[in-house]
Structure 1
Amino acid sequence: MPVLEVHLVEGLHTPAQHAELLVALSTRYAEVTDVPLDRVRAHVTLHRPELWATGGIPADGRSAPYFTAVLFADRLAELRRRLLGALTDLIVDVLGVDRRLVHGEVIPVQPDDWAIGGVSARTSRRAS
């Protein structure tokens, strides 16, 4: 179920930083949520600079990453807060961006609304 997405402005960070970020975010998500690493899916979505604005100002060379983390809705608020903080820390460390410009959210999903191999996660949980 774990899915991470980071939105970045194209050209502000290197491919090596993108790769490092994907590995680090996946690993941290697995650690914080106690899910197997092989279940985590992470990707970077790059946006052309002319299609990005921060605070109503078109991209001007400043990086203002935005991330989402999909998580089952029954996870505790404390775990969600830890995950948001941990993912923000990694983005700041790997990309060298201003922490105040990093925004993110946890997207809660009901187990009945998430499929694994075409079967709802609730059904999969009962079977294991």
Structure 2
Amino acid sequence: MLTLPESGNRIEIGNNCMFSFGIQLRTEDGHAIYDITTKQLINKGGSCIIGNHVWVCCNVLFMKNTFLNDNSIAAAGALITKKFTETNVIVGGNPAKVIKTNINWDRKSAEQYAKDCEAQNLKGGHILE
């Protein structure tokens, strides 16, 4: 689901991303929330930006004013409520936080990735605990 952006807000998706199902990208709340005394709007919308080579797992919700940087993963069920500027991270939880750093991902299965690394004498074929 993509919400229609307010004026000036945008949804940006980088190159080579992978998406599962049940994902929502929201640039606004859908209804106004305002201060009773001043009548000022307190829930203004904002952009939702996903970098390059980002894997978004199932049932992830990106709220307004969010960013997930390159080579990262949004874990299943994550509620993204802020900007994650560090690259190569896994974010997850409600609200989402960085749960693992120094990662990258590949579209290959874990088994195929390990075989390919082993064939090339790379350390990536070993499972880290």
What TM-score do you get using the length of structure 2 for normalisation? 0.28
Q: Which of 1 and 2 has higher RCO (CA within 8 Å, sep 6+)? A: 1
